Amino acid sequence: MVDTIERVNAQPVKRFFIDIITRDIDLAAAILDLVDNSVDSARTKNPDGDLSGVTVEVVAQGREFSIVDNCAGMDVDHAKDYVFRMGRPTDASGTSGSIGQFGVGLKRSLFKLGTNFIVNSAASNSDFTVELDVDAWEDEPDWDFDILVHDREPHETTGTTIIVNNLHDSVEEAFAEVRGPEGQRPFSELLRDELMSRHRIAMGNGMTLTLNGERLTAGTSEVADSELISAAVTEFTISTPDGEPVRVKIVAGAAPQLSGMDEDAQPEEVEFPAAEAGWEVFGNGRLLLSAEKTRITGWGSGKARLPLFHNQYARFRGFVYMEAADSSAIPWNTMKTGVDSGSPVWAEVREAMIVAGREIITLLNHAKSERQAGKEGDEAPISTALNSAATVVVEQPSSSVVYSISIGELRADNVVHARYPEPNPNLRSGVKTVTYAVDLDAFQVVSRALKEKAAARVGRATFNAFLDDIDK
């Protein structure tokens, strides 16, 4: 007998492929990926970073899903060679400063949403439509599908329209929610908040983003600023192992005013930590971490660095902007919903965050000493400066990343230390925390008499009253 060589069909089953790429992404993240594509396209059309006049309209309700933008559109050759390929070819060129990276997002999102989709995109030099019935495509032996190239003259009106029909049952259920599952908000509210949060820089640069006809507003990045007090600012560039530079800007500051927050409450007395405190981390304009207060951003790294978060740091506001022409240089996870904590780039950014953030921790510790000593006015120079400061919006980097300067200039660090008044010299000997427990009913009697709810301030008032009595 003669041995023979036969061929094994190792081509993946389409349903298996679809299940794999959609398994680990939730519905909101799938929609955010599509908005990412529009933002990248807007940057292509507006390289100066001014997104005024750019519109992205998302409809996600009932049995409808669509996203319509007036951005740069997709070139038909790019669509054939990259956009609709099942993965990113190694020779595919990306958009400078883009969010997209792996060449999976568009297909993954469409498969996650439903079983029939239409994509029409008009670029300045081409116009095409792709319509795919996923169920029918799964039954076909090859992986190709048709793209209809329209015979039209080049035109100035550009943009992309995506419509998904035959939504999956789970998607229809999420879109139809008036109330979320017990203890949860409806999906539409969660999606609205995610869109406002994740793309706040694009909206801040002029882009109009709507969800189900409602225009969304961008969150603001604000810190206290005056002649007496200002934030710490650090700017530097990291050269990645692949040689791609990542430009980093870190701003660490404090909020001038707090509403309804007891900064001196003991941890066990606080049901929730300050919602807005912590670090906001952006990668190429997309928010990756929001109000982050854990070890991943340096909290709990040591007494002389960043302590574990406590509500005495409720005023802390930190902003990190990472920008790179090649999106693969950004230390984000594959879903672009967080950072890659094991990345050496992130390790360097995190260390710089700790150094800048420590300046604000020192400021807030001085403010706490003033409060604990019951000082006000001129005897509490830092608290007075903080409470009287104006709010300034943190300057956000341009949406467009163009490295036209020398590597030497790129590597030049720019460090501006936080500014605040000299602490009260009479407090430098320190303060002593007095802690004791009292009967709750008795505490409420004293609290009502003093018209003060915060335990720390009730304790301070009663101590001072006793001290005054001794002095008499």
Above pLDDT 70, what percent of the chain?
84
Give strand pairing partners of 120: 129, 161
What's the pLDDT score for residue 60? Answer: 95
Lowest mean pLDDT among 202-216, 235-249, 395-409: 395-409
Assess contact for 380 and 422: CB atoms under 8 A: no
Statement to judge: residues 270 and 329 lie in one domain: yes
The string of pLDDT tens digits covering residues 114-123 is: 999 999 999 9
290 and 354: one domain?
yes
Domain end (from 215, 247, 275): 215
Judgement on whether residues 394 and 446 belong to the same structural domain of the protein: no
The 10s digit of each residue's pLDDT in 329-374 is 899 887 777 899 899 999 999 999 999 999 999 999 988 888 877 7
Question: Angle between the 344-372 and 381-388 helix axes, to the nearest 10 degrees?
Answer: 110
- Residue 91 falls within a domain, yes or no? yes
pLDDT band at 300 (very low <50, low <70, confident <90, very high): very high
pLDDT digits (tens, 9 = 90+) for 224-280: 999 999 999 999 999 887 778 999 999 999 988 776 666 766 554 555 556 789 999
Count Cβ neighbours within 10 Å for each residue of 77-93 and write b for 16 or more, e otherwise: ebbeebbbeeebeeeee
Mean pLDDT, residues 62-91 taken together = 82
Residue 234 lies in a domain: yes
CATH number of the domain residue 177 falls in: 3.30.565.10
Q: What is the pLDDT of residues 146-173, one digit of tens each?
A: 899 988 776 778 999 999 999 999 999 9
Residues 155 and 284 in one domain: no
Question: Of 159-168, 367-376, 396-405, 453-462, where does mean pLDDT reach its minimum?
Answer: 396-405
Average per-residue pLDDT in the chain? 82
The answer, yes or no, to whether residue 106 has pLDDT greater than 90, is no
Residue from 59, 57, 95, 55 nearest 75 by CA: 95
Confidence of residue 407 (pLDDT cuts 50, 70, 90): very low
Would strands 316-323 and 278-283 be described as parallel, antiparallel, or unpaired?
parallel
pLDDT at 162: 96
For residue 434, being part of any structural domain is answered with no
Residues 256, 405, single domain; the answer is yes
Is the whole-model pTM more than 0.85? no
pLDDT band at 294 (very low <50, low <70, confident <90, very high): very high
Residue 409 confidence (pLDDT) above 60: no
Residue 430 pLDDT greater than 80, yes or no:
no
Task: Answer whether residue 326 is part of any domain.
Answer: yes
| Residue 435 placed within a domain | no
* Same-domain status, 146 and 236: no
- Interval 129-136 mean pLDDT: 91
Rounded distance between C-alpha atoms, residue 112 and residue 30, angstroms: 7
Q: Residue 79 pLDDT > 90, yes or no?
A: no
- 99 pLDDT more than 70: no
- Least Cα distance to 125 among 105, 144, 151, 91 occurs for 151
Cα-based angle 137, 123, 14 (whole degrees, multiple of 5) = 15
Instruction: With beta carbons less than 8 A apart as the criterion, state whether 413 and 236 touch.
Output: yes
Whether residue 432 is contained in a domain is answered as no
CA distances from 293 to 44, 163, 307, 360 (A): 34, 39, 10, 14
pLDDT of 408 > 50? The answer is no
Q: CA 166, 169, 174: angle at the middle one, nearest 5?
A: 110
End-to-end CA distance of the chain: give it in Å, rounded: 116
Within-domain flag for 202: yes
Classify residue 247: in a domain, yes or no: yes
Same domain, 233 and 141: no
Which is nearest to 226 in space by CA: 206, 185, 254, 199? 254
Segments forming the whole domain that contains residue 101: 14-215
Same domain, 372 and 246: yes
- pLDDT for 269 equals 55
Residues 379 and 444 in one domain: no
Q: Tell me the mean pLDDT in the region 57-62.
A: 94
Average pLDDT (5-27) is 79
Q: Assess whether 332 and 388 both reside in one domain.
A: yes
- Nearest Cα neighbor of 208 from 196, 198, 190 is 196
- Smallest CA-to-CA distance from 327 within 95, 53, 36 is with 95
Same-domain check for residues 207 and 269: no
Residue 180: per-residue pLDDT: 56
Number of independent structural domains in the chain: 3
Task: State the average pLDDT over residues 438-447.
Answer: 82
More confident residue, 292 or 424: 292
Q: Which residue would you say has higher pLDDT here, 412 or 183?
A: 183
Q: What is the pLDDT of residue 128?
A: 93
| Residues 385 and 267 occupy one common structural domain | yes
pLDDT at 98 over 90: no
Determine the pLDDT at residue 406. Answer: 36
Question: Domain boundary residue among 215, 236, 265?
Answer: 215
pLDDT category of residue 183 using cuts at 50, 70 and 90? low
> Percentage of residues in the chain with pLDDT exceeding 90?
35
CB-hemisphere CA count at 13 Å for 391? 10
CATH at residue 382: 3.30.230
Pick the last residue of a domain from 215, 231, 248.
215
